[in-house]
Amino acid sequence: MSGRLRIRGGRVYDPANGVDGEVRDLCIEDGRIVAALPAGVPELDATGLVLMAGGVDIHCHIAGPKVSLARRLSPERRRRDVVASRALEDGYLRAGTGGLVPSSFVTGYRYGGMGYTTAFEAAVPPLGARHAHQELNDTPIIDKGFYVLIGNDDFLFRLLDTAGEDEVREHVARTAADARAYALKVVSPGGIAAWKASPRPDTRLGFDETVPGTRAVTPRRIVSAVASAVDALGLPHPLHLHCNDLGMPGNADVTLATMRALEGRRAHLAHLQFHSYGRAPDGRPTSRARELVEYLNEHPELTCDVGQVMFGEATAMTADTRVAELLHRLTGHKWIDLDVELESGCGIVPFEYRPKNYMHALQWAAGLELFLLARDPWQVVLSTDHPNGGSFLAYPRLIRLLMDRAFRDEELKRVNPAALAGTALADGLAREYTLSEIAIVTRAGPARQLGLPRKGQLGAGADADITIYAPQADIEAMFATPRYLFKGGELVVEDGQIVREVYGRTWQVAAPHGREVESAFARFVAERGTMPADQYRVDEDELPRAEIVAAAG
């Protein structure tokens, strides 16, 4: 079957190919976009409708040990949103639970129902790789992959103290290969290891302070070494970086120090909003988002996703365990800490953002400042750091905040006015995103930053992942319920409802490395850990729908 279809007469927003709302046909054959099709092929009339590539989420938490743990921590939330199994014409949809941390099946259905076709889990400890893949294998509709954690691991620390750049590069490549990951993620470089050595919420590691138990490893050296290794390997996505001191007043200092330490190397800064705070002389947190944006504006090699806070329920879920402990102490909410040997861990706290709360309102405003002050939307990706700033299901509302100034002004009246004072929002930021800019921050930009040329665009050769929206005055309603979604050329959503279940691919990167690092790592974990090295290694047959991207280096 050739799966030919002409989607006729829609308004196409495809910024990667310079197409801005022109009326044209899109042709699909064998799951890809093609330049033309002969007359007489089946057609779908899209007159008056808006066409974009399928959405791409560059940073969310949807699979792996911490996600499972979050589901178990809050059964009372899951009980509210039980999704029953449902028959389809040629199959059925699986039952599950929704809410802030949906089950694997519901995660796929809800991304698809919102017009997204690709999502990347942003933090998997090396020992959690097998678990994460098993859940992703069970996540329908979307293409997916994950970033494996590095930067708080004892093996890297030993290499930084005793070996050279080549050994670090080999270790980075082996870590990605063993986990069958797509990219490398550093969370609070050295900070988690410091907290583990002294588990108190006031444990803080300065950017140039030595990680406990090492000779001369500092956050600066970790960032620099891993970013260089990722660049030297030519991985498609640069270092994915969660800076130190997330959520702490005054953390903009270390964020700026980190950006400077990269010295022109590429990096993607995760949920930058959570790293953009100043501190007033009286100790109150302030927003320094403007300074960070100014730095970004001058450094095209850096990109970020925002990690926008949305008012309502959220779940703090982070490898930065100290932050979870702090939140637990601040709110009195229950929490759980999962320690992973030799690298990372995670902390989870059910949470709620309230508009009248000074800090929450400030976080909300700082996120919007990042979006509205950024000169180049290609450097900024729309995210809520799901479920940390709110659910991915809040994206349509966030899009409305960016596109509809009158709506934004109404929302501004709801939030704590003291928190807004001093932010750019108080100056009456008039910018409204266009549909083309929304297409950049939700699909074209993240696809480019991920190094996935067949995603986020609608040119010939692209995957036929196409979202079709019916324009409405209410932008939120328009983006919440696409009229149609095609995934790999197949119609999977109609009027926001899944009509066919398909399973996408898992993206992984192939980064070559030698045997020497494998045996050195095996010796190290035999000596220091409780798990043998083969527990870190995911086999080829565990990923039935893998697609491998070769490193360019």
Question: What residue ranges bind Zn ion (CB under 5 A)?
Answer: 122, 385
User: Which is nearer to Zn ion, 44 or 317 (by Cβ)?
Assistant: 317
User: Which is nearer to Zn ion, 13 or 371 (by Cβ)?
Assistant: 371
Output the smallest distance, CB 435 to Zn ion, in A.
27
Output the smallest distance, CB 42 to Zn ion, in A.
41
User: Which is nearer to Zn ion, 170 or 385 (by Cβ)?
Assistant: 385
Q: Are 89 and 479 in contact (CB under 8 A)?
A: no
What is the torsional sign of CA 259, 317, 66, 332? positive
Output the smallest distance, CB 394 to Zn ion, in A.
15
User: Which is nearer to Zn ion, 205 or 241 (by Cβ)?
Assistant: 241
Output the smallest distance, CB 212 to Zn ion, in A.
25
- Name the closest residue to Zn ion (Cβ): 385
User: Which is nearer to Zn ion, 132 or 424 (by Cβ)?
Assistant: 132
**Whole-angstrom distance, CA of residue 288 vs CA of residue 278:** 6
Q: Where on the phi/psi map is residue 60: left (φ > 0), alpha (ψ -120 to 50), or beta?
A: beta
Burial (CB < 10 A; 0-12, 13-18, 19+), residue 170, is: buried
Output the smallest distance, CB 271 to Zn ion, in A.
6
User: Which is nearer to Zn ion, 122 or 184 (by Cβ)?
Assistant: 122
**Whole-angstrom distance, CA of residue 74 vs CA of residue 70:** 7
| Tokens 């109609």 sit on residue | 494
User: Which is nearer to Zn ion, 220 or 386 (by Cβ)?
Assistant: 386
Output the smallest distance, CB 224 to Zn ion, in A.
22
3-class DSSP assignment, residue 50 = strand
Please choose, from the candidates 339, 337, 334, the residue with its C-alpha nearest in 3D space to the C-alpha of residue 351.
Answer: 334
Instruction: Give the list of residues 6+ apart from residue 209 with CB closer than 8 angstroms, or none.
Output: 218, 219
Widest pairwise Cα distance in the chain:
72
Q: Are 123 and 58 in contact (CB under 8 A)?
A: no
User: Which is nearer to Zn ion, 50 or 319 (by Cβ)?
Assistant: 319
Q: Are 139 and 164 in contact (CB under 8 A)?
A: no
Output the smallest distance, CB 346 to Zn ion, in A.
10
The four Cα atoms 108, 113, 116, 120 give a dihedral, to 10 degrees, of -20
**Whole-angstrom distance, CA of residue 26 vs CA of residue 90:** 26
Q: How far is CA 423 from the centre of its chain?
A: 25
Instruction: Give the list of residues 6+ apart from residue 427 with CB closer than 8 angstroms, or none.
Output: none
**Whole-angstrom distance, CA of residue 32 vs CA of residue 43:** 16
User: Which is nearer to Zn ion, 122 or 393 (by Cβ)?
Assistant: 122
Backbone Cα Rg of the chain: 23
Output the smallest distance, CB 236 to Zn ion, in A.
20
Q: Which residues pair with 19 in a beta bridge?
A: 14
Q: Which two tokens stand for residue 322?
A: 């100290």
User: Which is nearer to Zn ion, 384 or 423 (by Cβ)?
Assistant: 384
Output the smallest distance, CB 492 to Zn ion, in A.
27
**What angle, 0 to 180 degrees and rounded to 10, lies between the N-to-C axes of helices 154-162 and 165-179?**
160
In this structure, the number of other CB atoms found within 10 A of the CB of residue 550 comes to 12
Output the smallest distance, CB 61 to Zn ion, in A.
6
User: Which is nearer to Zn ion, 154 or 385 (by Cβ)?
Assistant: 385
Output the smallest distance, CB 383 to Zn ion, in A.
8
Please choose, from the candidates 28, 55, 129, 113, the residue with its C-alpha nearest in 3D space to the C-alpha of residue 445.
Answer: 55
User: Which is nearer to Zn ion, 122 or 415 (by Cβ)?
Assistant: 122
Output the smallest distance, CB 2 to Zn ion, in A.
40
